[in-house]
Each structure stands twice: as C-alpha cells, then as structure tokens.
C-alpha cells in the first residue's frame, strides 16, 4: 500500500455535495422569488464587516458551513440591482437563466482564449447575433469583454493603430508626430478618457464638444473644432457618437455623424453601451438609425440585456485591422489545423489571453426568451420612464432637471435655489437608500443637481415608481424646516 494519497479538489463523496448544491439552487430561487419583500439595499453592520478580516484559512471547513457564512455575510448585503426598485447609476437587473448559464460555464470550465470547443462556437454565435442587432455585416469581427469600458478600449486601440499610419505596435506612440484627436459630446462616458490615457494619448486627445438642449453633440461645433484642429496640425482620428448617454439617455444624431465622418475621412465609433441594443425594440429602433454606418460599436449586454455581470462587447467592421491590433502567439501557443486548439483564436481580438465563458449566459437567455422579448423589456423600461416623467410634471413639489430622452429620469424635489436643492435632494437620496425603499442615484446635468433613475430593470412596475415618488415627497417634508403659519 502506498503511503501517499492522491490529492484532488473533488469531494470524496459526491452524494453529500449533490444535496448541498441542490439546496443552493433552491435557496437561490427563493431569493429571487422573494426579492420584492426585501429592502432594495441595506448597510452592513460592523460585526459582519469584521468577519472579513480573518486570515487565510489554515484548516478546512465543510462547505455547508462556508455556504452558511456566505448567506449571512455576503448574500445578505448585495448591491441590490436585482431588486425592482433599484435604478441607480446604470446596472442591469440580471436574470436567473443567465445565472444558470454562468454556473454551467464554470462547470464546463473552457478557457475562451481559443480552442475547438462548443464554448468557442457559442461566443462566435453571440457575436454574430450582436452584429445583426446593430446592422453590421456578418464579416465584421467582434469580441466579448468584461464590460463597456474594455469594449471601448479595444475599439480605441484599433483606431489609434490605424490612424497612426505606422507600426505603433513596434514603434510605440513616441513616434507619433501629429497628436491624435477623438471627438465626443460633453456627455461622453468617462471610460473614453481612461482608455485614451491608457493608450498613451493623454486625456487631451479626448475633445469634448458642447451638447445642445437635449444633450446631443452639436455638430456645427464639432465641424468647427475639426477644422481648427486640422489648421493647427493635429490629426482628427475618431468621432465617438453616444447612443444613449449615461447622464440622461441622450442619443447623438448618428446619421449626421456618419455623414460628417465620411466627408472628413474620420473613423466613426459608437458608444452603444446603453442604446446599442435599441434595434431589438422595433418601435424605438429609429432612434439609433446610422449606427450601422459606424466603423465600431461598443455594447454592454450586462446593462439592457440583463446579463449577469460581466459581459460587454465590441464589434469592428474592419476585421483585419482588429486582428492586426491584437494578434500575438508565444511559442507555447501556435496555430494548429487540427486538434484541441484548432479554429479561430479568440484571444487575437482583445487584451486578455485567458477568457471566461461569458457568452453562455447571453446565448441561453436569448434562446429561452427570444429576441422580441428583450425588445419588449426595452420598450417597457422606456414607458416606465415616460410614466415617471408624467407623474413628476403633474406634482407641484417635483421638477425634471433634464428632458427624458430614453429610459433615464433626472428630477428633484423643488427648493429655494440650486444650493438648497443639492443639500435637500442629496439627503433625500441617502435616506431613501438607507431605508431600503429604493436605490436612486444622483447627477448634475448642465449645472443642475438632481436625482437620477435609470430604468433598465425587468422587475420594475409602475407601482414601484408611485411608492418611490411618495417616499421622495414624504422624506423631503421630514427634512425641511416646518414653516409656521
């Protein structure tokens, strides 16, 4: 008999795991089934927070105890975005099929860097579907990313390398003689600045163009800035059109930007992290007409497709340029015509080599529900925003701080002046978050502070909006000093 026992992470007894795993699924279903009865968010008490200070485990603990700890200290304090009254920032409410997809993807275990696998077929099919949704030709390329920030970074890398006109991969950006310029509206998402900083172009490469009263990029201003930049010896590289701004859901005039880019010979990129999937809702698809003329589009399935985090995507029409930007193979990872690594190497289209099987959660949900259902959910969110807009307009103590362009409502409780409005509404927001009634966030739009509700939540109903607006009015009333008659 050998005195060395083989070590593995697999259990000695699968039967005990089976029962526990089934219980986890049962309790996950209860968790979602009862989501409405729980607070949208709650703060973590210190004694719970302190449990996270324990050192690296030196002794084993049985999984049922680990799971119990998870339930009490982690699962009891989520962000809250799966709750019907969570509308802060711009999250996405996840979905159970997607959660099962993530579980199955982990069990499958495939690394999506490449390989002749079912998983790699699924990712390529999802990318093909996304091309169809934005009206891109099937010979465009694309890749799934961790999110919109990474999707935009991948696109900007391709654009930078093409615009430089020399081998940037070899020579680096130090050899750039003209500074590259990327133009976007002043409502552009901050990830573009981060991307251009990361690419070594500097934040000055992002030129923010003033937006109009509906927060769309002013194209007359854009045209002037481009002409001036050319006169100054700078090199216009890209116009970023926003299809659904994060602040207010504003959609730039994509057709006009496409025309301008064609005239000027500039790359047209669309940040469609919010509105890039509007094509699924036929009655709203016209809002993003022109997106199909872009050279690249970033979309974010973990937002309006409700994919569990993380899942972003970038699509690039010039598949060769995309490949030429990222293709890289060490001696330990060479192409083969046959065998386990044959086929398209997905890591040649982005920064990551090892890649998760993000595609499965999207693929399963699309198959189960079909494309039209996602379109209905998008339309439902837009009508929820319209409903809230009407309620606010009708209420004497509430006011909009920005036009409702899409599915985002920026509003506030009235106050004597801008400073008072900010103090009052911030306090209202925090108290409502802490009460667990709802999670709105806040923003400042063209100098006006307000609360912000983004509806990309398939669980929200009109009555949730009624509950929330009464809470806003009631909370403000408690905060405001009582005026004696």
Ligand X SMILES: *Cc1c(COP(=O)(O)O)cnc(C)c1O
Among all residues, whose Cβ is closest to ligand X? 148
CB 390, min distance to ligand X, A? 25
Residues 406, 274: contact at Cβ < 8 Å? yes
- For the record, the structure tokens of 186 come out as 């002043």
List 84, 147, 295, 450, residue binding ligand X (CB under 6 A): 147
List 90, 136, 366, 449, residue binding ligand X (CB under 6 A): 90
CB 235, min distance to ligand X, A? 24
Residue 145's DSSP bridge partners are 312
The footprint of ligand X on residues 370-409 (CB under 6 A) is none
Which residues fall within 8 angstroms of residue 418, CB to CB, at 6 or more apart?
Answer: 447, 448, 449
Spatial distance between the Cα atoms of 302 and 146, rounded to a whole number of angstroms = 9
Q: Give the β-pairing of 296-299 and 312-316.
A: antiparallel
List 260, 261, 274, 360, residue binding ligand X (CB under 6 A): 274
Tell me the helices (H) and strands (E) count for the chain, helix number first.
16, 11
Q: Exposure string (b/e) for 435-472, b if CB count within 10 Å is 16 or more?
A: ebbbbbbbbebeebbbbbbbbbbbbbeeebbeebbebb
**Taking CB under 6 A as the rule, does residue 191 contact ligand X?**
yes
CB 147, min distance to ligand X, A? 3
CB 243, min distance to ligand X, A? 8
Stretch that binds ligand X, among 142-150, 205-213, 378-386, 475-483 (CB under 6 A): 142-150
The footprint of ligand X on residues 288-327 (CB under 6 A) is 300, 312
**Taking CB under 6 A as the rule, does residue 271 contact ligand X?**
yes
Among residues 315, 311, 316, the alpha carbon closest in space to that of 362 is found at 311
Cα atoms found within 13 Å of the Cα of residue 82, Cβ hemisphere only: 21
CB-wise, 246 or 405, nearer to ligand X?
A: 246
**Taking CB under 6 A as the rule, does residue 246 contact ligand X?**
yes
CB 231, min distance to ligand X, A? 31
Residues 362, 311: contact at Cβ < 8 Å? yes
**Taking CB under 6 A as the rule, does residue 181 contact ligand X?**
no
**Taking CB under 6 A as the rule, does residue 80 contact ligand X?**
no
CB-wise, 343 or 442, nearer to ligand X?
A: 442
CB 252, min distance to ligand X, A? 11
**Taking CB under 6 A as the rule, does residue 365 contact ligand X?**
no
List 273, 401, 428, 451, residue binding ligand X (CB under 6 A): 273
- For the record, the structure tokens of 243 come out as 């299809």
Helix pair 462-479, 418-435: axis angle to 10 deg:
120
Spatial distance between the Cα atoms of 308 and 357, rounded to a whole number of angstroms = 12
CB-wise, 86 or 345, nearer to ligand X?
A: 86
CB-wise, 147 or 450, nearer to ligand X?
A: 147
Residues 141, 315: contact at Cβ < 8 Å? yes
CB-wise, 110 or 456, nearer to ligand X?
A: 456
Stretch that binds ligand X, among 101-109, 230-238, 271-279, 339-347 (CB under 6 A): 271-279
CB-wise, 148 or 343, nearer to ligand X?
A: 148
Among residues 30, 29, 27, 41, the alpha carbon closest in space to that of 83 is found at 41
**Taking CB under 6 A as the rule, does residue 123 contact ligand X?**
no
- For the record, the structure tokens of 292 come out as 């199909």
Residues 192, 184: contact at Cβ < 8 Å? yes
- For the record, the structure tokens of 465 come out as 């909006």
The binding site for ligand X (CB under 6 A) comprises 90, 147-149, 189, 191, 242, 246, 271, 273-274, 300, 312
């Amino acid at each position: 008999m050998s005195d060395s026992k083989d070590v593995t992470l697999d259990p000695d007894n699968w039967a005990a795991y089976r029962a526990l795993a089934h219980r986890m699924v049962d309790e996950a279903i209860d968790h979602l089934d009862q989501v409405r009865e729980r607070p949208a968010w709650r703060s973590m008490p210190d004694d719970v927070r302190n449990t996270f200070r324990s050192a690296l485990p030196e002794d084993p603990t049985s999984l049922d105890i680990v799971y119990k700890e998870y339930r009490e200290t982690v699962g009891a304090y989520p962000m809250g975005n799966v709750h019907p009254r969570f509308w802060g920032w711009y999250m996405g409410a996840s979905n159970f099929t997607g959660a099962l997809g993530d579980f199955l993807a982990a069990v499958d275990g495939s690394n999506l860097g490449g390989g002749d696998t079912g998983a790699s077929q699924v990712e390529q099919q999802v990318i093909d579907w996304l091309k169809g949704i934005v009206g891109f030709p099937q010979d465009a390329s694309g890749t799934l990313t961790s999110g919109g920030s990474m999707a935009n970074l991948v696109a900007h890398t391709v654009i930078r390398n093409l615009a430089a006109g020399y081998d940037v991969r070899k020579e680096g950006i130090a050899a750039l003689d003209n500074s590259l310029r990327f133009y976007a509206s002043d409502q552009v998402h901050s990830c573009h600045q981060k991307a251009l900083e990361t690419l070594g172009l500097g934040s000055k490469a992002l030129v923010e163009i003033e937006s109009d009263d509906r927060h769309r990029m002013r194209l007359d201003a854009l045209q002037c800035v481009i002409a001036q930049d050319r006169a100054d010896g700078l090199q216009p590289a890209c116009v970023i059109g926003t299809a659904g701004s994060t602040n207010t859901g504003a959609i730039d005039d994509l057709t006009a930007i496409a025309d301008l880019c064609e005239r000027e010979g500039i790359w047209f990129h669309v940040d469609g992290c919010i509105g890039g999937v509007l094509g699924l809702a036929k009655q709203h698809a016209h809002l993003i007409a022109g997106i199909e003329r872009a050279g690249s589009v970033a979309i974010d399935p973990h937002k309006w497709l409700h994919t569990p985090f993380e899942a972003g995507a970038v699509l690039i029409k010039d598949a060769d340029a995309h490949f030429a930007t990222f293709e890289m193979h060490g001696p330990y990872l060479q192409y083969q015509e046959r065998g386990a690594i044959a086929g398209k190497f997905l890591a040649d289209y982005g920064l990551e080599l090892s890649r998760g099987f993000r595609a499965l959660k999207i693929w399963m949900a699309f198959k189960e529900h079909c494309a039209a259902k996602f379109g209905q959910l998008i339309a439902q969110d837009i009508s929820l925003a319209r409903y809230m807009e009407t309620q606010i307009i009708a209420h004497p103590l509430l006011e909009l701080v920005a036009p409702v362009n899409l599915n985002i409502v920026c509003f506030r409780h009235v106050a004597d002046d801008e400073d008072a409005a900010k103090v009052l509404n911030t306090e209202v927001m925090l108290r409502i978050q802490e009460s667990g009634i709802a999670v709105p966030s806040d923003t400042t739009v063209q100098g006006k502070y307000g609360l912000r509700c983004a509806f990309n939540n398939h669980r929200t109903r009109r009555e949730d909006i009624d509950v929330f607006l009464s809470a806003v009015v009631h909370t403000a009333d408690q905060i405001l000093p009582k005026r004696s008659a």
